[in-house]
């Protein structure tokens, strides 16, 4: 999958200032609303036909809520969702039925996402039944064709989910999502419940299907390495907000947000000789409560370079380079120390670290105490010039 293949036509998905809040109620007889969990707090996303947007973040960042809200499985609080030119933000369940032909979902857990009392044939054929579709040759033939396409034996059409392994069940879920030939599929952690040797099978299958049917994926995952393998563009979420969004290579080779840095430096690389040279940015403390998020920048309580300004001023998502959006007052300029990311053009980018000794600086940051900013560039009106990556062809 190459980034150049993506067309610039009308987006298949346009999400504007989307918010999903869940009410927090008091216990007792009168369950008064006493607060709100701001699971998704104003995100903007767009997705072109045939494109994959990776949505990454740690548990509790709101990525799954965002995916479910976009398909109207959860109620949006405000904002707008436009799928294939139709604003579906306030559609009723009935109005959503035809939309489901365009937009489908693949779930994380292939054990709970399939009805154990239905045969595979019934499961994969149900979208056609709901939509009252009569494929030429009948539903059963269409189901078997789908099964063959996703790598299942079509003869197993009468078997039940418990007769299949985890990887095969995920293929069933994919076949079901594919049944209506959708243009958009929201994949919510589609491989994280699978064994490592099976993950690659499913990732390759998803890519092949995209090439064949020009499906756009909103690919939600916590694993940055998995997302890098499949996504054209990537958005990083933290506590309901998008912190950074960029093309795949920009994000992985030139991450600008401190949170993206922390994530990248935390991924263990399967290479024992490289481990010694890596510096880990250890985030202090825990994810703050989304009921009462920190003022200013939501990441500041764990950020290794937070300053006074971060507590008072919400950093806007600013375009620092074409297509590279960052929400930070003090964007960074190089890869985390020792983190080796291999580019597609075949050279290795390994830049010297910018801050003196990140591990010393950050490990003992007490929660909630802003630190002095480090000697990196600031965003005071001036956009940082391209930094030390002139070697990129």
Partner 1 sequence: MSEPILSVQDLRVTFPTEDGLVRAVNGVSFDLYAGKTLAIVGESGSGKSVTAQAIMGLISRRAAQITGKAVFQGQDVVTMPDRQLYRLRGAKISMIFQDPMSSLHPYYRIGAQLVEAVRAHQQVSKAQAREQAIEMLRMVGIPAAERRVDDYPHQLSGGMRQRVMIAMALINSPSLLIADEPTTALDVTVQASILDLIAQIQQTHDTAIIMITHDLGVVADVADDVIVMYGGSVVESAPVAEIFAAPQMPYTLGLLASIPRLDRDPDLRLDPIPGNPPSLISPPPGCAFNPRCGYSRLVPDDRCQQELPELLAVTADHRVRCHIPATDREQLAREALASLATAPVGGEG
Binding site for partner 1 (CB under 8 A): 1-2, 58-59, 165-168, 195-201, 203-204, 207, 222-226, 228-229, 248, 252, 262-277, 280, 282-283, 285-287, 338-344, 346, 348, 350, 352, 366-367
Rank residues 343 and 379 by Cβ distance to partner 1 and give the closer one. Answer: 343
Q: How far is the CB of 2 from partner 1 (least distance, A)?
A: 6
Burial of residue 312 (number of CB atoms within 10 Å: 0-12, 13-18, 19+): exposed
DSSP helix, strand, coil percent of the chain (3-state; round to 5):
30, 20, 50
Note the Cα 302 to chain centre separation in Å. 21
Rank residues 87 and 155 by Cβ distance to partner 1 and give the closer one. Answer: 155
Q: How far is the CB of 203 from partner 1 (least distance, A)?
A: 6
Q: How far is the CB of 127 from partner 1 (least distance, A)?
A: 26
Q: Supply angle C-alpha 155, 157, 161, rounded to 5.
A: 125
Rank residues 42 and 166 by Cβ distance to partner 1 and give the closer one. Answer: 166
245's enclosing H/E stretch is strand 241-247
Rank residues 140 and 222 by Cβ distance to partner 1 and give the closer one. Answer: 222
CA atoms 255, 260, 265, 271: torsion sign = negative
**Distance (Å, whole) CA 284 – CA 262:** 11
Q: How far is the CB of 287 from partner 1 (least distance, A)?
A: 7
Q: How far is the CB of 90 from partner 1 (least distance, A)?
A: 34
Structure tokens at 41: 């707090």
**Distance (Å, whole) CA 65 – CA 75:** 10
Q: How far is the CB of 137 from partner 1 (least distance, A)?
A: 30
Rank residues 60 and 76 by Cβ distance to partner 1 and give the closer one. Answer: 60
Rank residues 124 and 205 by Cβ distance to partner 1 and give the closer one. Answer: 205
Which letter, b or e, does each residue of 36-61 get, where b requires 16 or more Cβ atoms within 10 Å of its Cβ?
Answer: bbbbbbbbebbbbbbbbbbbbbbebb
């Amino acid at each position: 999958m190459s980034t150049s293949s993506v067309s610039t036509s009308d987006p298949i998905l346009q999400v504007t200032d989307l918010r999903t809040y869940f009410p927090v109620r008091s216990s007792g007889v009168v369950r008064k609303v006493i607060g709100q969990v701001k699971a998704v707090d104003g995100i903007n996303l767009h997705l072109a036909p045939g494109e994959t947007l990776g949505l990454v973040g740690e548990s509790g960042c709101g990525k799954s809520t965002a995916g479910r809200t976009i398909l109207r499985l959860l109620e949006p609080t405000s904002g707008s969702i436009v799928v294939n030119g139709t604003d579906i933000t306030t559609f009723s369940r009935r109005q959503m039925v035809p939309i489901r032909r365009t937009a489908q979902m693949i779930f994380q857990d292939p054990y709970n996402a399939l009805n154990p009392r239905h045969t595979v044939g019934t499961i994969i054929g149900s979208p056609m039944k709901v939509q009252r579709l009569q494929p030429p040759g009948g539903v059963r033939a269409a189901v078997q064709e789908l099964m063959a396409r996703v790598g299942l034996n079509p003869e197993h059409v009468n078997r039940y989910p418990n007769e299949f392994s985890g990887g095969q069940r995920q293929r069933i879920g994919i076949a079901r999502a594919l049944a209506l030939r959708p243009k958009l599929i929201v994949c919510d952690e589609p491989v994280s419940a699978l064994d490592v040797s099976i993950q690659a099978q499913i990732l390759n299958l998803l890519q092949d299907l995209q090439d064949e049917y020009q499906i756009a994926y909103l690919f939600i995952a916590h694993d940055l390495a998995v997302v890098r393998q499949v996504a054209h563009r990537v958005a990083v979420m933290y506590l309901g907000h998008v912190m950074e969004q960029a093309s795949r290579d920009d994000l992985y080779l030139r991450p600008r947000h401190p949170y993206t840095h922390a994530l990248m430096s935390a991924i263990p690389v399967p290479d024992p000789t490289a481990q010694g040279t890596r510096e880990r940015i250890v985030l202090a403390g825990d994810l703050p409560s989304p009921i009462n998020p920190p003022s200013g920048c939501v990441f500041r309580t764990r950020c290794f370079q937070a300053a006074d300004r971060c507590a008072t001023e919400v950093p806007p998502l600013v375009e620092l380079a074409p297509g590279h959006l960052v929400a930070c007052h003090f964007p960074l300029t190089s890869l985390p120390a020792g983190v080796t990311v291999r580019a597609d053009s075949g050279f290795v980018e390994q830049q010297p670290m910018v801050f003196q000794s990140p591990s010393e600086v950050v490990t003992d940051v007490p929660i909630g105490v802003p630190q002095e900013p480090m000697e990196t560039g600031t965003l005071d009106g001036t956009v940082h010039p391209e930094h030390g990556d002139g070697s990129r062809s």
